[in-house]
A and B are shown apart, each in its own frame.
Chain A
Amino acid sequence: MAPRQGPNDDRTIAPGQFAGQPQAPGVPQQRPAPPGQAQPAGHGWSADKTMVPGIGMPDEQLQAPAGARVAAPPAAQVPAAQVQVQAPAGAGDLTPELIETPVWTETMLQQAGIPIVDVPFVTVGGGIGSFVTTDYLRIAGVPPEQIRVLSNLDFPYQTYEYLTRVSQIPDHARIRSDSSSRPDNIWGFPSYALTETWRQKTPAHLIHLLLEPVWADYWTPLRSTVFGSIDKESKRIGYDKMRVKGVVRMVRKRYGGGYFTILTPPEGSSPTKRVAYRSRFVHLAVGYPGLRYLPDLQDFRERYQDYQHVVNAYEPHEHVYETLKTRPGTVVLRGGGIVASRVLQRLFDDREHYKLQTNIIHIFRTYIEGSHGPGPWMRRKGDHGWAYQGFNYPKSVWGGQLKAQMRKLDGDDRAKLYKLMGGTNTPKRRRWQDQMRAGRAGGYYRDMQGIVEKVEPAPDGNGVVSYVTGKAGNELIRSDYIIDCTGLEADISQHRVLADLLQHTGAYRNPLGRLEVERHFELKNTANGDGVLYASGATTLGGYFPGVDTFLGLQIAAQEIADDLARRGWCKKIGPGRSTSQWFKWAFNKPI
């Protein structure tokens, strides 16, 4: 991992490039950012009395909507010399005092020259987690003026699109998600299968749905169906109007209640380096903190500066497949999850389509030999190294008895149930099983248990050698490439916003090491006056609800958050009447 950046060296992070990581080769740069947006007057959370409304930078400088109120310190109150000393790069940067102080006042920001924008609800991240939460709130009747999405992304699925694409889910392929897990539709009805049935005028999808999972694989939606539907819903709820481009640096408590969220707008789009969003509510949905590289592979890459022969499946690695089209080769695959299955399928497909002679050696650190679990009521299928499961978690975590069970557990008991139902797994799809069977029979696919001690360049300079110890003894495996499919598991402290949160707001870790949240996704120990800090998504894995890092999990979190906000009197609770009327608006694509 690259060292964490200092407070003054923010950069816009490209999709797929996580906090604190070098940009992966081939990742497109961000498009030029739209102008920043600010809070129209009259809808903001109670403005602080120390502010002087109407005084500050001209609205047009931030290109804010008409009526927007951007509060900046009056020049007379800020000694010019002090600004110069504390923010030599220009007015409006973080100062050592701000960085070191957990609770901020308006005066501190004024002295630093950082303008303040008022908005009651801020969501940080701008990915699918922010999108579904915003969607819920909009459907609950919250006007767009009361929500701001602070994000370095241009559209909600930008990171997801990148990660799925490089991990071998092309546009025409289907993602691993249930038919009724729709980020664009809070009701999950009609399901994606119904939508595709309607669009393609074929009953095949419904028949498939009727046969799953016993007589057919789980039906899953096309990647393009998912993205297209999110685009449509984005337009319907006016998502782009709420989105403010930039990189969030930190969230700090405000003296008197609520929070300040510091945004670094794209260079040239704002007169100051930072803008502070003052809000009663903050929602964090920043996604995975980063890629986790296996230690031996990271060591190899750093020592030999070789980023070609050892790749992570979440990095662009098309060169591996292209080279294998030109000559026979051996690939070592590491990992037993869905990404390993996808990469394996790509290798098998290419082998079949281009008549290649690729050999694959698949190393499982934890090799599953058969059905496993503590008893007949808790046994998961598995074989040849894999643990099989339709989706990321057993289905009932999204609403059934496992969800109800986990909701009651704390500490070690919760960690134990996570361990029981967790572990890397992949769906048992018929096509993948056929391909692996053919590979084993043909001698070009071998699965094995093993722990790789180290990786070195091959003595002849061609490829790499893995030193493997396993149940069958020690073995040296030479290959042309190693593809690490072990996933997105970096520690949350690798993400700068989360690290800051742990250090300064009172947030702490759950039994799995991520952020501990309440059942309604409020970050524990971070309440401030009447302000609430929420978090959803991968950073909260290990909480009372297990399936957080999934489409449906994000929707469940959004529902809990919206209901909590309604309990606090900030928005309406969506009852059966409103739910039905809003569904009709969704069905007829009526803007709200």
Chain B
Amino acid sequence: MVPTLTGRIQTRIVLLATVGSVLTLLVTPLLPIHAPLGTAYKTTFIILATVIVLGIVWEFIYHFLMQWRWEKDWPTNFGLITLVPEGLVVWLLLNAKLVPGIHGKVPLAAFLIDFLVVWIGVWLVANGPMRVPFLRWRFHGGRLA
């Protein structure tokens, strides 16, 4: 990708809110969470919202780091690797009970499956199928509006 800062933020919000939501809907019933499905959905969607909100901060950091690259690009694998720091921060916040709306403990396995499925799904869509409906997206630095 060759994103602009605005494009990064817009793409993240839109893709997580759409593709991320669909994947969360699909994967939540399969997660090893010992709680009613309603509670499980509440937990996974709050995690999704956390990734979106924190992601806006992350995008500023990525944009800053990108300035050291001559190409001013964000290679495909960077978009995948960044799941590690982002996932770690969300997990630490969950453990510290700093995520509003989630009071109980989220099993690590459930978190990993949920986070990885959503992240990889969004990453795959961003690296190809996204261009099918949004023809101008890749030439506008990831901006959708």
**Interface residue ranges, A against B (CB under 8 Å):** 180, 186-191, 194, 209-215, 373, 376-381, 389-390, 394-396, 398-404, 556, 559, 574, 576-577, 579-580, 583
Q: What's the Cα separation between A579 and B138 when bound, in Å?
A: 14
Q: What's the Cα separation between A191 and B1 when bound, in Å?
A: 13
Query: Is A213 in contact with B4, judged by CB distance below 8 angstroms?
Result: no
Q: What's the Cα separation between A399 and B140 when bound, in Å?
A: 5
**Can you identify 26 A-B contacts, CB atoms within 8 angstroms?**
A180-B138, A187-B131, A189-B131, A191-B128, A209-B76, A210-B77, A210-B80, A212-B75, A212-B76, A213-B75, A373-B70, A376-B68, A377-B67, A377-B68, A390-B71, A398-B2, A399-B141, A399-B142, A400-B2, A401-B3, A404-B141, A556-B139, A559-B139, A579-B132, A579-B134, A583-B132
Q: Which chain B residues border A389 with CB–CB below 8 Å?
A: 70-71
Q: Which chain A residues border B38 with CB–CB below 8 Å?
A: none
**Interface residue ranges, B against A (CB under 8 Å):** 1-5, 7, 67-68, 70-73, 75-77, 80, 128-129, 131-136, 138-142
Smallest CB-CB separation from B74: which chain A residue?
A400
Q: What's the Cα separation between A209 and B124 when bound, in Å?
A: 13
Give A216 Cβ to nearest chain B Cβ, in Å: 10
Query: Is A394 in contact with B131, judged by CB distance below 8 angstroms?
Result: no
Asked, given contacts A189-B131, A210-B77, whether A401 binds B72 with beta carbons under 8 Å apart, the answer is: yes
Q: Given A190, A378, A381, A399, which contacts B128 in the complex, CB threshold below 8 Å?
A: A190
Q: What's the Cα separation between A188 and B135 when bound, in Å?
A: 9
Q: Which chain B residues border A403 with CB–CB below 8 Å?
A: 2, 139, 141
Query: Is B71 in contact with A395, judged by CB distance below 8 angstroms?
Result: yes
Q: Which chain A residues border B76 with CB–CB below 8 Å?
A: 209-210, 212
Query: Is B132 in contact with A580, judged by CB distance below 8 angstroms?
Result: yes
Q: What's the Cα separation between A470 and B142 when bound, in Å?
A: 46
Query: Is B132 in contact with A396, judged by CB distance below 8 angstroms?
Result: no
Q: What's the Cα separation between A250 and B1 when bound, in Å?
A: 40
Query: Is B135 in contact with A398, judged by CB distance below 8 angstroms?
Result: no
Give B3 Cβ to nearest chain A Cβ, in Å: 6
Q: Given B77, B133, B135, which contacts A214 in the complex, CB threshold below 8 Å?
A: B77
Q: What's the Cα separation between A213 and B77 when bound, in Å?
A: 9
Q: What's the Cα separation between A400 and B2 when bound, in Å?
A: 5
Q: Given B72, B75, B138, which contacts A394 in the complex, CB threshold below 8 Å?
A: B72
Q: Which chain B residues border A187 with CB–CB below 8 Å?
A: 131-132, 135
Q: Which chain B residues border A194 with CB–CB below 8 Å?
A: 128
Query: Is B68 in contact with A380, judged by CB distance below 8 angstroms?
Result: no
Q: Given A378, A390, A400, which contacts B3 in the complex, CB threshold below 8 Å?
A: A400
Query: Is B73 in contact with A395, judged by CB distance below 8 angstroms?
Result: yes
Query: Is B128 in contact with A400, judged by CB distance below 8 angstroms?
Result: no
Q: Which chain A residues border B139 with CB–CB below 8 Å?
A: 398-399, 403, 556, 559
